[in-house]
Amino acid sequence: MNKQQTLIKNYRDKLLGLHLVTVAIVSFCELLAYLIFLWRGVYTLSFACDYLWLYVVLPIVLNFGAHIVARKIVKRDTESHEVKNAAVVYATLVTAVLVSVLHREFTVTACAFVFPMILSALFSDRKLLNRSLIVSVLCVVLTLAIRTLEQPIDLEYVITGLALFGFLAVSYLSGSIVIENSELNLFVIENQAMTNTRLRNKIKKDPMTNLYNHKMFFVELEAVIAECETSGKTFCLSMFDIDDFKKINDEHGHDGGDEALLALSKVIRRNCTNSDVPFRYGGEEFAILFKQKTKDEAYAVMEKILREFSSIRFKFIDRPLTFSCGIGVFEPGMTKEEMFDAADDGMYQAKHNGKNQIYMK
């Protein structure tokens, strides 16, 4: 379980804990009310008492039952976050419905249904918010219908009922605003993350070729050396640059030189695997860090890159372009400077031997 999943789980557990506290308070109040009625002689202590079963036992059983079911659903690894969130909200809806239908008091009903709406908003789930509103409105209508049968309707009753609907509407709209704000914040965060990624890539990569730059070259080289010193493995490093690149720039301008650099970078990316790290070391000079290849495998890749690059026909020049390459092989105890020198010296040896070739000891 990653950090984000752990935070979501803890968040949901806290909300379930809040529901448990609510259920405990409701149960205590129901039991306290029953004891007060017993003390005042309204009811007698009897298991046949309707108030005991309807207002004490039934709410306790249903509320705690809903809580237990919700907690079991939340603990299931197979369920999605949406299902787990819904389980928490539905448990609070059970409590709200029981409070509303059994007591039929407008103030209590309004307070009861605000809870599931708040949770729906906290989960940023508009479907749950809509369902909470529908259930709350149905329960209010039922409460009004029952109260109408129990006592005559007066002006105060009508005003209170309308105020209750208004309170639920305000709660719903507030929840909608919270969800919209959460969605906006998420949008801003995602955009910021994308911006940060682009900035990190800009710092790490060469803007023209989109290969890692000179700075990242030594960072990666040092990291691979440290890893190989620990594991006892080896790796290869190739250094290569385009032959007679200065002449290309002098005769055909920087546009021609840029075209050659871009063409070579495309060939490099096409032939590198996920374990290979290509760089534009600087100017016309490139490097590839072969983390998991033997010297023969690294040589074969560089040979293929040289063959493909030299087969490209450029419009600005009537001859093929080539490069000279040196490959260094890591040996235990070598520093990053020594590893670089091994590949770089090989590159210059390839140039000394006539260019358009790969040199490896």
Rounded mean pLDDT, 179-191? 75
pLDDT score at 4: 59
Q: Which amino acid is at 345?
A: D
Q: In which band, very low, low, confident or very high, does the pLDDT at 198 lie, cut at 50, 70 and 90?
A: low
pLDDT score at 51: 75
- Distance (Å, rounded) from C-alpha 302 to C-alpha 322? 12
Q: In which band, very low, low, confident or very high, does the pLDDT at 57 lie, cut at 50, 70 and 90?
A: confident
Query: What does 221-274 look like in DSSP terms, one character per residue?
Result: HHHHHHHHHHH----EEEEEEETTHHHHHHHHHHHHHHHHHHHHHHHHHHH--T
- List pLDDT tens digits, range 228-250: 988 889 999 999 999 999 999 88
Burial 221-240 (b: 16+ CB within 10 A, else e): beebbeebeeeeebbbbbbb
Percent of the chain with pLDDT over 90: 37
Rounded mean pLDDT, 207-215? 90
Q: In which band, very low, low, confident or very high, does the pLDDT at 337 lie, cut at 50, 70 and 90?
A: very high
Describe the strand order of the beta sheet including 358-360 as a list of residue ranges.
276-282, 285-290, 236-242, 323-329, 358-360
Rounded mean pLDDT, 338-350? 95
pTM confidence score: 0.52
pLDDT higher than threshold 60 for residue 314: yes
pLDDT score at 294: 93
Rounded mean pLDDT, 111-132? 85
pLDDT higher than threshold 80 for residue 266: yes
Rounded mean pLDDT, 307-326? 93
- Distance (Å, rounded) from C-alpha 62 to C-alpha 67? 8
Please tell me which residue, 322 or 63, carries the higher pLDDT value.
322
pLDDT higher than threshold 90 for residue 117: no
Q: Which amino acid is at 254?
A: H
For 90-94, 181-185, 303-307, which range has the lowest pLDDT when averaged over its residues? 181-185
pLDDT higher than threshold 70 for residue 1: no
pLDDT score at 267: 96
- Distance (Å, rounded) from C-alpha 207 to C-alpha 191? 21
Residues 116 and 151: beta-carbon distance below 8 Å: no
For helices 3-40 and 106-122, the axis angle rounded to 10 degrees is 170
pLDDT higher than threshold 80 for residue 191: no
- Distance (Å, rounded) from C-alpha 249 to C-alpha 200? 31
Rounded mean pLDDT, 144-150? 75
- List pLDDT tens digits, range 216-231: 999 999 999 999 988 8
Please tell me which residue, 2 or 20, carries the higher pLDDT value.
20
Q: Give the Cβ contact number of residue 7 at 10 Å.
A: 10
Rounded mean pLDDT, 154-165? 74
Q: In which band, very low, low, confident or very high, does the pLDDT at 200 lie, cut at 50, 70 and 90?
A: low
Q: In which band, very low, low, confident or very high, does the pLDDT at 289 lie, cut at 50, 70 and 90?
A: very high
Domains along the chain?
3-195 (no CATH), 214-360 (3.30.70.270)
Q: In which band, very low, low, confident or very high, does the pLDDT at 202 lie, cut at 50, 70 and 90?
A: low
Rounded mean pLDDT, 12-30? 86
- Distance (Å, rounded) from C-alpha 271 to C-alpha 300? 10
pLDDT score at 96: 85
* Token pair recorded at residue 317: 């020049």
- Distance (Å, rounded) from C-alpha 84 to C-alpha 336? 52
pLDDT score at 293: 94
Taking alpha carbons only, the member of 264, 218, 217 closest to residue 241 is 264
Query: What does 302-320 look like in DSSP terms, one character per residue?
Result: HHHHHHHHHT---TT-SS-
Please tell me which residue, 46 or 19, carries the higher pLDDT value.
19
pLDDT score at 5: 66
